[in-house]
A = this chain, B = another copy of it.
């Protein structure tokens, strides 16, 4: 147990981001964990015929993470995505030219209210621009959806990605890049966002009958884990994205009568296990449920995502430049999905 000593990091010029993370691997605490997340993610990418689930919660798009997330999609370092309605809303908003602004968390929020400025910690946004965009969703995008059809969130988000691609072309966006790369997007709490309430207004004001059937989301998402023999998960924060991805393995194990627990797991979070919630629970706890495999490579790093993502994505970009990964393609036929894997250069 006393074989491998920690190696104090020497300071040097010209280090790349992967260099410094590799050095942090021989240190301790959360610095070491951060380095190990890159290693576990790397193992997922190298493992044959593996589907990588990616869940992200928290205001990642207003926080300037949009292009990092788009990169993961475009390079197929993630295969299926689950996030909150807010993130897809803000992604769409930015693609449509909306801006988020550098603000200050030490401020007078009542004054911001009077100026119609919405605050997200140290980010500001123009409320009137949000309202304009809501109207576009309601009046224009809503018209592109069919009445009476039972949509899954995946189908609506695909439609939204298509709408934006048709209008704005190739842009770095979770919606557009996923549309272009065939990466399914799920949003299990779609109604719980401006995306959801804007489309609700299409029903209410324009006498539409748009339907987002929550059961279809569960069905579609679990079918992916049923079909995939190997799965990995990467979580930015907790919330519905984490639980929704975790539960696919419970459903899939029940349905297939085989162990479909996830084989690789990475988690960046600031939520703690001590409060007993699913968001903060450890991968060890998840092993008791069979959500994460008892043999999984799993690592949690307690760090806020705006620190972790820029570093980890660049380290992966450096490490996997030109690498050929077996990337899954999803074909949705008669409410079921077929997976095919093909070697693709990242």
Interface residues of A (CB under 8 A from B): 1-17, 20, 23-24, 26-32, 34, 57-59, 62-68, 71, 86, 94, 99-103, 105-106, 109-110, 112-113, 115, 117-127, 131, 150, 153, 172, 188-194, 196-197, 199-200, 203-204, 210-215, 217-219, 222, 237, 239-240, 243-244, 247, 250-251, 254, 270-279, 281, 284-285, 287-290, 294, 302-307, 309-311, 313-314, 317-318, 321
Contact = CB atoms under 8 A, between A and B. Distances in A.
A45 B82 CA distance: 39
A301 to B, nearest CB: 8
A204 to B, nearest CB: 6
A110 to B, nearest CB: 5
A196 B214 contact: yes
A26 B106 CA distance: 17
A150 B302 CA distance: 41
A102 B63 CA distance: 34
Nearest to A114: B294
A287 to B, nearest CB: 4
A302 B285 contact: no
B274 A30 contact: yes
B110 A11 contact: no
Given A26-B64, A32-B122, A214-B214, A109 B9 contact: no
A29 B150 contact: no
Contact of A314 (B15, B153, B251): B15
A287 B26 contact: no
18 contacts: A6-B100, A6-B102, A8-B94, A9-B65, A24-B307, A26-B102, A28-B123, A34-B307, A58-B278, A105-B273, A109-B285, A110-B294, A113-B294, A119-B289, A200-B219, A211-B213, A212-B213, A213-B213
Nearest to A61: B8
A320 B213 CA distance: 42
Chain A at the B interface: SS class:
mixed
A276 B29 contact: yes
Given A31-B307, A127-B289, 16 more contacts: A1-B115, A2-B125, A9-B64, A11-B68, A12-B314, A20-B310, A26-B102, A31-B304, A109-B285, A110-B287, A118-B288, A122-B276, A192-B218, A199-B215, A210-B215, A272-B302
A92 to B, nearest CB: 14
Given A11-B67, A20-B311, A30 B275 contact: yes
Contact of A121 (B131, B204, B279, B281): B281
Contacts of A68: 8-9, 11
